[in-house]
Chains A and B, each alone.
Chain A
Amino acid sequence: MALKIGDYKTQVHNDWCVGCGDFGIVNAIQMALSEMQIPRHQAAIFSGIGCSGKTSHFVNVYGVHTLHGRVLTFAQGAKLANPDMKIIAAGGDGDGLGIGVGHFIAAGRRNLDLTYIIFNNGVYGLTKGQASPTLRLGEKTKSLPTPNTNYNVNPIGLAITSGFTFVARGYAYDVRHLKDLIIAAVNHKGLAFLDVLQPCPTYNDINTRDWYSGMDNLDESKKQHSRIYKLEDTGYDPVVHYDSETEFNEKLTQALIKSLEWDTKIPTGIFYKNEIISQYEKRIMDKIPNYMENPPSSQVVSSNGKPTTDISKILDSMSV
């Protein structure tokens, strides 16, 4: 029987602030799961700590709400041990790009087949609005006593240069587009990163919904221009089509250039997609050929309580 969106929702009371962008993201995740018809037990949402961290409790699949900044470590461990799981890791921008940025880069270098979504609101929501790593230098959101003293991280650029092989950006209030991006990310063979612009009406009074929709972004005729636009509408091709350095560099460079756009024109959609670089799973298979067909979680390690592993050859070589 086909699974409906409702099947992917839990009964858990959602305590996010009214109007929070997080609602759009969790809806998009549920829509994506039902559109892909992923059996509930074959999917897991791992999440970090922060407002966004609660996401895993709202989705009716395996849900693992982990530690601040550490979501990728848990998610990758699970994926390595059971590569059949569809795994989505979710977390805040403070979570993933502040305390967790080391894991972010390391995960990129590995390129395991999973999806990582950052709920990017420019602030630390759950600890009441401190500056997050994506907030621009000199900006002062309402709960900052003084303007932000740090330069910002560029999540898209960082992901591309860290080795993520699918890099995209969505917008929390464009749920359908976001849903499509999530599906593309989940279907991507390799590590997918999704930067989701997520207005936090409670603490970020700069990058608000109105700001994104361009209420203040007027031309001479006083016409309002949404800051957000879609790369796919411009004929942009993010895909690395063939295995050549020139092709790699071209696609990387155009994605990096796009990642620098902000303020009046903010691109969404897929920036970069490369399925030529090997997945980590393949790299393991170079060492352990039957890794995918007999991964750690499905190995039979005992029979009637006795070990099935035979170390006698090793012991023979130690014998004197």
Chain B
Amino acid sequence: MLEQTDISWLIGGPQGSGVESGANIFSRACAAMGYEIFGKREFYSNIKGEHSYFVVRVSNNAIHSNINDVTLMAAFDAETIFRHADEVIKNGAIIYDSDLIATKVDEVHNMDLNYKQRLLKYLDSKNKPYTIQGILDIAQERGVNLYPISFRNVLSTMADEVNNPRLKGMVRMFNVLGVSFSLGVLGMPPETLLSSIDAIFAKKQAIADLNKKTANYAYNFATAKFPNFMYRLRQVEKKSGTILVQGYQGTALGKMVCGCRFQPYYPITPASDESVYLESNEILDVKENRPGSTVVVQTEDEISALGMTIGGALTGTRSATCTSGPGFSLMAEMLGWAGINEVPVVITLYQRSGPSTGLPTRHGQDDLMFAIYAGHGEFPKMVYASGDIEESFYDTGRCFNYADVYQVPVIHMMDKFLASSVVTCKRFDSDKITINRGKLLDKIEGDYKRFAFVPDGISPRSKLGLENGIFWNTGDESDEYGHISEDPEIRIKMMDKRHSKLEYMLKTIPPEEQAISYGMSDYCIVSWGSTKGPILDAIDMLKKENINIGFIQMKLLHPFPTDYIKSLLKNVKMVIDVEANQTGQLGLLLKQNLEHSPDYYILKYTGRAMTSTELYDSLKNIMANKAEKRQVLTHGA
């Protein structure tokens, strides 16, 4: 039997110093050895200088989240050491730039005052100097291995050896040094490092070569100097058909496959990565057809983005946009227009922490209620949430089908945690996606009424340019042709026709697409979105202790599948609501629809994603009857 490996690696440095590509090299190298990867990026709303870090969890078992513990840390600046040394476990190790050892807390200019004060107090309480030395002493006393390396010396010795004086003092190589030292310390095969660098810098051969030279040197340096690290990563059995994928790629690939051919957008973190990725893959391979393409347009604002999307959808084109909270706010008026005109559009909503610009680069699930209630007046729409990156690929396909079949705007809930995670998952399978355009017509004869009253409430849809298919749209109430009407009887019929779709959705969407039940027990977690990963892992940890907790992952959040959820919860004694927001928004929905509030809330709104560790702790407290009704999680810098 394989021994169980489950380590967590952290790389940190100033924003703009290559933390992300460092993490990508590491992740790819580990994935190539057969490991499962779960990596998450944290960064400030800043371009250069502020603290940025990536934690990559590596395991030979299925993993879905991060944990609190760090096994190995590679720090190439002082702030990373100050902020994360305490997370490194006993027998773990810190690889750090030894030139920083005397750096004082006060000298780290980017670190905010509040944190500095807490740090000084902490060092004081342990009787340590206010320096890197001080914080590392504490770690060492806990049994953490310290691996000091002068990053500059390594570079300059290497520069001499390979006769490339340019390398001397090339600070932007620090990230590659950090990664390479780490692979050396972990005893990973050097080829993984080199081929990973090749893959990451595939388009820039010169950079790849320089990086590989440096990596090779640093790798050998670390293996020679620190050969005895307890944790080792060896080749493990590789699951075939595995891909390493970044969060935003799931929806983008989903959009390509399911036929989205038009995506206007306005830049906003963390949503724009998706559009930029779509644009960089604008020209599409198409089977048995002329090459396809996705037209991606950067608009002047989000109002325009959704306006154009709607315009595109009116031509019968599958059209979408993506945004996050502040942008979605601007779209609210457009959303109502799409609603009253029954236009199928998909809005991929990457939530982040609000209100307002809030924590612009941090995670949150604050926008559930906003998505459900966005827009004035009453009109049907759908709100659908994905729980992880693999799901987001297939869900994107579903969202477009829902939009077309029910002729409503669909808001696909994603978030920052999903967008900026890197994970291994099963290669996406396009064959599992079906395309259902609903009642979109290709041919029309006779008198055509775009908003004809039909029994199922869904009038056959024409598109701009279709012969005999002329229709009118208006944001005003209208008759069956789409001409303005203020007639009270027509008003009732039109309102009822539109709203009947909500019932129809619940009747026709298969239950397994509405919510996923991961087993039931007396205790049951109810949640939605990216909390899925930490929840699955925490439940697993509890299962090993013979504690069973059920879990319902809500996917369809509006219209709310009341009957189905009621039936799932029939025998449950205690409901625990887990969410990344302050007010427990799903809890409110449960109360509204099930007339029953959750018994416990586990909430996190620091802007950092939940770890399974803290969730596990919190659930244990609830089981032990030692918990407040509302638990607030706080892990993470």
Q: Which residues of A contact B (CB under 8 A)?
A: 10, 12, 39-42, 44, 46, 49, 54, 56-57, 60-67, 70, 72-82, 84-85, 102-103, 105-106, 284, 287-288, 290-291, 293-297, 299-303, 305-315, 317-320
With beta carbons under 8 angstroms apart, the residue of B333, B334, B435, B474 that contacts A301 is B435
Q: Using Cβ atoms and an 8 Å threshold, which residues of chain A touch B130? A: none
- 0/1 interface trace, chain B 273-310, chain A, CB 8 Å (1 if under): 00000000111111111111111010111011011111
Q: How far is the CA of A85 from the CA of B218 in the complex (A)?
A: 61
Q: How far is the CB of A196 from chain B (nearest CB, A)?
A: 22
Q: How far is the CA of A297 from the CA of B337 in the complex (A)?
A: 21
A-B contact pairs, 25 of them (CB 8 A): A70-B307, A74-B308, A75-B311, A76-B311, A77-B310, A77-B311, A77-B313, A78-B314, A82-B316, A82-B317, A82-B465, A103-B307, A288-B282, A291-B293, A294-B290, A294-B291, A296-B294, A296-B315, A297-B316, A301-B261, A308-B289, A309-B292, A310-B286, A319-B241, A319-B244
Contact in complex: B287, A308 (CB < 8 Å) = yes
Number of interface residues of B (CB under 8 A): 84
- 0/1 interface trace, chain B 14-47, chain A, CB 8 Å (1 if under): 0000000000000010011000000000000000
With contacts A70-B307, A81-B312 known, what are 14 further pairs, Cβ within 8 A?
A: A39-B467, A41-B466, A44-B464, A57-B484, A64-B311, A73-B304, A77-B308, A77-B310, A78-B315, A288-B295, A296-B293, A297-B463, A311-B257, A311-B428
Q: Is there a chain A Cβ closer than 8 Å to B353's Cβ?
A: no
With beta carbons under 8 angstroms apart, the residue of B281, B293, B295, B297 that contacts A314 is B281
Contact in complex: B262, A306 (CB < 8 Å) = no
Q: Using Cβ atoms and an 8 Å threshold, which residues of chain B touch A313? A: 285
Q: How far is the CB of B532 from chain A (nearest CB, A)?
A: 22
Contact in complex: B295, A81 (CB < 8 Å) = yes
Contact in complex: A65, B465 (CB < 8 Å) = no
Known A77-B312, A80-B297, A102-B300; contact A70-B256, beta-carbon cutoff 8 A = no
Contact in complex: A311, B471 (CB < 8 Å) = no
Q: Is there a chain A Cβ closer than 8 Å to B416's Cβ?
A: no
Contact in complex: B424, A320 (CB < 8 Å) = yes
Q: Is there a chain A Cβ closer than 8 Å to B7's Cβ?
A: no
Q: How far is the CB of A160 from chain B (nearest CB, A)?
A: 19
Q: How far is the CA of A78 from the CA of B308 in the complex (A)?
A: 7
Q: Using Cβ atoms and an 8 Å threshold, which residues of chain B touch A287? A: 282
Q: How far is the CA of A76 from the CA of B312 in the complex (A)?
A: 8
Q: Using Cβ atoms and an 8 Å threshold, which residues of chain B touch A295? A: 295
Q: Using Cβ atoms and an 8 Å threshold, which residues of chain A touch B253? A: 311, 314-315
Q: Using Cβ atoms and an 8 Å threshold, which residues of chain A touch B476? A: 65
Q: How far is the CA of A237 from the CA of B242 in the complex (A)?
A: 65
Contact in complex: A302, B259 (CB < 8 Å) = yes
Contact in complex: B288, A84 (CB < 8 Å) = no
Q: Using Cβ atoms and an 8 Å threshold, which residues of chain B touch A75? A: 311
Known A66-B475, A320-B424; contact A81-B297, beta-carbon cutoff 8 A = no
- 0/1 interface trace, chain B 239-271, chain A, CB 8 Å (1 if under): 001111100010001001111011010000000
Q: Using Cβ atoms and an 8 Å threshold, which residues of chain A touch B434? A: 305-306
Q: Using Cβ atoms and an 8 Å threshold, which residues of chain A touch B256? A: 309, 311
Closest residue of chain A to B479, judged by CB?
A12
Q: How far is the CB of B39 from chain A (nearest CB, A)?
A: 13
Closest residue of chain A to B484, judged by CB?
A57
Q: How far is the CB of B200 from chain A (nearest CB, A)?
A: 11
Contact in complex: B470, A301 (CB < 8 Å) = no
Q: Using Cβ atoms and an 8 Å threshold, which residues of chain B touch A42? A: 465
Q: Using Cβ atoms and an 8 Å threshold, which residues of chain A touch B157? A: none
Q: Using Cβ atoms and an 8 Å threshold, which residues of chain A touch B294? A: 296
Contact in complex: B473, A63 (CB < 8 Å) = yes
- The listed residue with most B CB atoms (<10 A of its CB), out of A296, A300, A305, A311, is A296
Q: Is there a chain A Cβ closer than 8 Å to B318's Cβ?
A: yes
Q: Is there a chain A Cβ closer than 8 Å to B561's Cβ?
A: no
- The listed residue with most A CB atoms (<10 A of its CB), out of B288, B295, B311, is B311
Q: How far is the CB of B494 from chain A (nearest CB, A)?
A: 15
Contact in complex: B299, A64 (CB < 8 Å) = no
Known A65-B472, A102-B300, A320-B31; contact A74-B307, beta-carbon cutoff 8 A = yes
- Within 427-455 of B, Cβ neighbours of A (below 8 Å) are at 427-428, 430-431, 433-437
Q: How far is the CA of A209 from the CA of B195 in the complex (A)?
A: 77
Q: Is there a chain A Cβ closer than 8 Å to B117's Cβ?
A: no
Q: How far is the CA of A10 from the CA of B472 in the complex (A)?
A: 11
Q: How far is the CA of A62 from the CA of B481 in the complex (A)?
A: 11
With beta carbons under 8 angstroms apart, the residue of A12, A62, A105, A314 that contacts B470 is A62
Contact in complex: B261, A77 (CB < 8 Å) = no
Contact in complex: B304, A56 (CB < 8 Å) = no
Q: How far is the CB of B258 from chain A (nearest CB, A)?
A: 6
Contact in complex: B292, A301 (CB < 8 Å) = yes
Contact in complex: A288, B472 (CB < 8 Å) = no
- 0/1 interface trace, chain B 474-492, chain A, CB 8 Å (1 if under): 1110000011100000000
Q: Using Cβ atoms and an 8 Å threshold, which residues of chain A touch B92? A: none
Contact in complex: A65, B243 (CB < 8 Å) = no
With beta carbons under 8 angstroms apart, the residue of A12, A60, A67, A294 that contacts B292 is A294
Q: How far is the CB of A181 from chain B (nearest CB, A)?
A: 25
- 0/1 interface trace, chain B 207-249, chain A, CB 8 Å (1 if under): 0000000000000000000000000000000000111110001
Contact in complex: A288, B303 (CB < 8 Å) = no
